Amino acid sequence: MDIKESFLQYIRTEKRYSRHTVTSYKNDLEQFMIWLEESRPGTALPGVNHGDVRGWMVSLLEGGATASTVHRKMSALRSLFRHMRRHELISTDPMAGLKLPRKPKQLPAFVAEDALVKLLDEFRFGDNFSGIRDRTVVEFLYLTGMRRSELINLRDTDVDLSAGQVRVTGKREKQRVIPLPAGFVKSLKTYIESRREQGLPGAWFFVTDRGNKMYDRAVYNIVTRYLAMVTTIEKKSPHVLRHTFATHMLNRGADLNSIKELLGHASLSATQVYTHNTFEQLKKIYKQAHPRA
């Protein structure tokens, strides 16, 4: 097994990175190795030096890659070289002292509260299975703040309607429990009954019209389709509903630690970004309400 494959197996089985992360790292490393072969033919990974890494970074930037994209790709390389040093395949880190481009500060996009109320309370998704499921998907993401991959991998056994809670398996197999509102539990019962009437299997909680496990693109299409009906924000992905969940919770007085646990963040710093959204909302209210603003 070569170095790259050994590394990918390590992050997949031992670090338990998500399938998306592993695929992303694989693509980034393969892109670097193609560039390396073109730049210095015959150079193997143990022979990579600081100049090679910096040269690839400059090449990416000159090719139009954003600072965020460069950071992600450098993160893949950094993890690889750390793995190689651990196995004594290299003695020094080629990325030591590398200065990355500064990323522009971007606030997480979120949907206004009144827009989601309008969508969930007034819009008719349809009384057939597809309509009931689509509404349940949108509301589930908004009420729990879970990731798209977490929603897709929910099993019937993870959803405890009698206790009003759902067990979520997040990154690196870490589990957390999220409460479900009583009104939403009734909606979930309606969805399960509709699924049963269609004769669809119940191993996976969310399924396609044909009874297969729900997949990434299907969830993405559902969310973007319905959010487009109530908001004009540029991003309308499932992750926006996660941002919306956190922002609305914070705006209504929830403390950061509680939101951190509900989101399944490893550290509080990842959750603190939502305080910026709240501050922007406060500034907006201040400008509207204060006579001297």
pLDDT of residue 281: 63
Determine which one of 73, 133, 135, 147 is catalytic: 147
Determine which one of 26, 171, 176, 213 is catalytic: 171
3-state secondary structure of 179: strand
Checking DSSP bridges between strand 175-179 and strand 165-169, what pairing results, if any?
antiparallel
Please report the domains of the chain, with CATH numbers, ordered by start residue. Answer: 3-86 (1.10.150), 113-288 (1.10.443.10)
Which of 68, 87, 88, 86 has its CA nearest to residue 28?
Answer: 68
Is the Cα dihedral 243, 244, 245, 251 positive or negative?
positive
Cα separation, 126 vs 242, whole angstroms? 24
Residues 273, 275, 281, 282: what is their CA dihedral angle, to the nearest 10 degrees? -150
Active site residue 290: no
3-state secondary structure of 196: helix
**pLDDT per residue as tens digits for the range 99-108:** 999 877 666 7
Distance of CA 57 to the CA centre of its chain: 25
Q: With bands split at pLDDT 50, 70 and 90, how would you rate the model's confidence at 276?
A: low
Active site residue 236: no
Determine which one of 17, 191, 226, 274 is catalytic: 274
Instruction: List the beta bridge partners of residue 166.
Output: 159, 178
pLDDT of residue 202: 81
pLDDT of residue 263: 92
Cα separation, 72 vs 64, whole angstroms? 15
Determine which one of 83, 135, 236, 242 is catalytic: 242
pLDDT of residue 60: 95
Active site residue 19: no
**pLDDT per residue as tens digits for the range 189-227:** 999 999 999 999 889 999 999 999 999 999 999 999 999
pLDDT of residue 148: 95
Determine which one of 26, 54, 78, 265 is catalytic: 265
Active site residue 274: yes
Average pLDDT, the chain: 90
